[in-house]
Chains A and B, each alone.
Chain A
């Protein structure tokens, strides 16, 4: 299908992008476009103006910042996969990015675009929630930092205000793993599971087990009380609301979550 007509403007700076968003309440940011363009074509999204931020190359980076890493919001999935700092200090991000879509999608899709889209099936959203990442957003009033735990507010909804743009993502150095079950090549996760050791504690996150990425708090609590991976993983679907759709029933997703959490914990 052909998308509805829209105006197009390319921003040369973050401030210009923020100003352009202020011009119109139906304006939207365009990064790599690999969530937005399919949505435009299905007419799920009907913006009046697309503000193209895809040329803001100074937001394509991974930097070391003490015991943390800072990732520019426009860093593409393919860049995350091969980034030496991530591979060394937070390989779970590179590992998850390698499982997104296919090579063509990874050449264009960005970490900021992916998480700002707020898709509950997004792999990177779960990773950021699991790592207790911080998301830096710029708006007309300046910059603010949003904890990942407060960022994902509903399906395709985030804490970003209309005129805010994600600029940077900060993550701790951590050891972790991501397991993703898919039914077909280059599909979204039927269920995804992230496990990471952050500041000596095991964190566990779930993809496609509810309206947003979720933390498996019961699993984390059981592990903190000394439970084995197998015993803790039995709690993986506690307090989740896994959807039933053409990929899987909610019941099957709950089963997958328990199996994948056990496997992820046994890996670490």
Chain B
């Protein structure tokens, strides 16, 4: 077991983990943060996307020990009390989801994208979300939501 200490959604936490434990399962099973979904488990679908030191990563492809000393943000860490994050609000208003399974990953990938590129074109949005798959194929409203979030200054 390896001792890790990290910040998750602003709270300090410490744990003893097996080195092979993936960050996605650490968040879900050890911290009970079930908003991070595991879809493909093969670095493809992006459902498990979280922010690691502010940048989007697929938490099924990061070991929990690699996050030692880092700041992790999951979808649970975005809202301020009852107030949704602008990206969440835009996904809500534009109905940027069908079944909703991919949504936390898309929201986190969008937060990272807009941080790097606050005013993306439609093509840049589609390229920027290339690492996230929606099996309902609901991409149209997702792109509209990202555009709305960018206008809202997310």
Which residues of A does B touch, CB under 8 Å?
1-8, 10, 30, 33-34, 37-38, 40-41, 50, 52, 54, 78, 101-105, 107-108, 185-186
- In the complex the two chains form, what is the Cα distance from A3 to B63 in whole Å? 11
- In the complex the two chains form, what is the Cα distance from A2 to B41 in whole Å? 10
Q: A37-B63, A103-B130 are in contact. List 13 more A-B contacts (CB 8 A).
A: A8-B2, A10-B65, A30-B63, A37-B22, A38-B43, A40-B20, A52-B66, A102-B130, A102-B131, A104-B131, A108-B57, A108-B61, A108-B62
- In the complex the two chains form, what is the Cα distance from A5 to B113 in whole Å? 35
What are 20 inter-chain pairs, A to B, with CB distance below 8 A? Answer: A2-B20, A4-B20, A5-B19, A5-B20, A10-B65, A10-B68, A30-B63, A30-B66, A33-B62, A34-B61, A38-B43, A38-B61, A101-B43, A102-B132, A103-B109, A104-B46, A104-B56, A104-B109, A185-B131, A185-B133
- In the complex the two chains form, what is the Cα distance from A185 to B19 in whole Å? 31
For A10, A37, A104, the residue with the greatest tally of chain B CB atoms inside 10 Å of its CB is: A104
Q: Tell whether, in the assembled complex, residue B63 and residue A103 are in contact, meaning their CB atoms are under 8 Å apart.
A: no
Q: Tell whether, in the assembled complex, residue A186 and residue B62 are in contact, meaning their CB atoms are under 8 Å apart.
A: no
- In the complex the two chains form, what is the Cα distance from A54 to B130 in whole Å? 25
Q: Could you tell me which residues of chain B, from 75 to 121, have a CB within 8 Å of some CB in chain A? A: 109, 112-113
Which residues of B does A touch, CB under 8 Å?
2, 18-20, 22, 41-44, 46, 49, 52, 55-58, 61-63, 65-66, 68, 109, 112-113, 128, 130-133
A121 smallest CB distance to B (angstroms): 14
- In the complex the two chains form, what is the Cα distance from A103 to B120 in whole Å? 14
Using CB atoms, name the residue of chain A closest to B112. Answer: A103
Question: In the complex, which residues of chain A have a beta carbon less than 8 angstroms from the beta carbon of B63?
Answer: 8, 30, 33, 37
Q: Tell whether, in the assembled complex, residue A5 and residue B18 are in contact, meaning their CB atoms are under 8 Å apart.
A: yes
B75 smallest CB distance to A (angstroms): 15
- In the complex the two chains form, what is the Cα distance from A28 to B153 in whole Å? 44
Question: In the complex, which residues of chain B have a beta carbon less than 8 angstroms from the beta carbon of A105?
Answer: 43, 58, 131
Do A107 and B57 contact each other (CB < 8 Å), given the known contacts A37-B63, A52-B65, A52-B66? yes
B115 smallest CB distance to A (angstroms): 11
Question: In the complex, which residues of chain A have a beta carbon less than 8 angstroms from the beta carbon of B113?
Answer: 103
Q: Tell whether, in the assembled complex, residue A3 and residue B128 are in contact, meaning their CB atoms are under 8 Å apart.
A: no
- In the complex the two chains form, what is the Cα distance from A37 to B22 in whole Å? 9
Give the residue of B44, B52, B131 whose beta carbon is less than 8 angstroms from that of A103.
Answer: B131
